[in-house]
């Protein structure tokens, strides 16, 4: 883990990671949730925040409410997606009324009190801040989304919609499956190696390759003009650290979902 750039917070009984540079920005509220600690039992290790078939919608709603409160985003409208491993980016233009989740894998906004959230359990969550234009984004980047360039596309959308300058963007990559555990077959390895040479290890004894999705994101950030010192990677593997994170590869359909959430508050109260 990158201890220099990230902090483990515990607020109102909820544990989540934050990126230090994001914390230094007064209106930005954000966090990468862990599996600790779910309602109603504060010791529960199933702080599931995702739309999974095995959990009760009322409990998920309560967990989400608690998470937003712990992030000091209790007044924000939670914006989630039906994530489909696409490169579709949504621009959120108001925080009024109801939000009905649309298909897509990234959210961007300049509106205050809109909590952008992506749900993951191995896929890489990415949060972005544009400190010059007061804009934020949340991206769900699994292997399909990464291959279809969901992160570079999100950056492009921010450039067009908000006049964002990539050289001023700060980007945080959260907990997800890393090369140590991300075995893929030769078809997937070939797709990535063709575009991002060096992102897959050589075939191991079992005939599998190991894909380094974070490395692919890093190469994409090179092309997008993100400065190296503006890239922050928590660098923890969800499958290696099942005590702390949900992992779809480890737990299958019974896995819960973490949430990576970011929003702009309308005031600076309640900040660290």
In whole angstroms, how close is the CB of 177 to Zn ion at the nearest point?
A: 7
| Smaller CB separation from Zn ion, 96 or 180 | 180
In whole angstroms, how close is the CB of 21 to Zn ion at the nearest point?
A: 25
| Smaller CB separation from Zn ion, 235 or 240 | 240
| Smaller CB separation from Zn ion, 7 or 181 | 181
| Smaller CB separation from Zn ion, 113 or 141 | 141
| Residues from 98 through 117 that contact Zn ion (CB under 5 A) | none
The reply on whether position 210 binds Zn ion by CB under 5 A is: no
| Smaller CB separation from Zn ion, 149 or 239 | 239
| Binding-site member from 239, 244, 263, 264 for Zn ion (CB under 5 A) | 239
- Residue 198 Cα distances to 122, 150, 213, angstroms: 21, 20, 11
- CA-atom Rg of the chain in angstroms: 17
| Smaller CB separation from Zn ion, 181 or 219 | 181
| Binding-site member from 62, 240, 242, 251 for Zn ion (CB under 5 A) | 240
The reply on whether position 180 binds Zn ion by CB under 5 A is: yes
The reply on whether position 171 binds Zn ion by CB under 5 A is: no
In whole angstroms, how close is the CB of 19 to Zn ion at the nearest point?
A: 21
Among 5-13, 57-65, 164-172, 178-186, the segment contacting Zn ion (CB under 5 A): 178-186
The reply on whether position 11 binds Zn ion by CB under 5 A is: no
| Binding-site member from 181, 188, 219, 235 for Zn ion (CB under 5 A) | 181
Q: How many CA atoms lie within 13 A of 132 on its CB side?
A: 11
Give the binding site for Zn ion (CB under 5 A).
180-181, 237, 239-240
């Amino acid at each position: 883990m990158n201890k220099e750039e990230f902090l483990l917070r515990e607020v109102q009984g909820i544990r989540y990671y934050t990126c230090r540079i994001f914390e230094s920005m007064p209106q930005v509220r954000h966090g990468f949730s862990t599996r600790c600690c779910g309602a109603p039992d504060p010791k529960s290790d199933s702080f599931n925040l995702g739309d999974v078939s095995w959990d009760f919608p009322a409990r998920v709603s309560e967990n989400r409410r608690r998470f937003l409160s712990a992030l000091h985003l209790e007044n924000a409208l939670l914006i989630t997606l039906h994530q489909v491993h696409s490169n579709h980016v949504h621009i959120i233009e108001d925080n009024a009324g109801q939000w009905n989740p649309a298909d897509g894998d990234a959210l961007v906004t300049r509106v205050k009190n809109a909590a952008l959230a992506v749900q993951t359990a191995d896929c890489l969550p990415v949060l972005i801040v544009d400190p010059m234009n007061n804009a934020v984004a949340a991206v769900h980047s699994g292997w399909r989304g990464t291959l279809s360039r969901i992160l570079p596309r999100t950056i492009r959308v921010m450039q067009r919609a908000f006049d964002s300058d990539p050289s001023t963007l700060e980007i945080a990559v959260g907990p997800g499956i890393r090369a140590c555990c991300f075995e893929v077959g030769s078809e997937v390895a070939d797709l990535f190696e063709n575009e991002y040479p060096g992102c897959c290890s050589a075939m191991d004894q079992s005939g599998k390759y190991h894909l380094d999705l974070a490395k692919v994101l890093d190469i994409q950030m090179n092309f997008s003009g993100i400065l190296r010192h503006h890239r922050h990677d928590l660098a923890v593997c969800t499958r290696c650290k099942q005590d702390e994170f949900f992992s779809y590869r480890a737990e299958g359909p019974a896995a819960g979902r973490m949430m990576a959430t970011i929003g702009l508050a309308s005031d600076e109260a309640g900040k660290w």
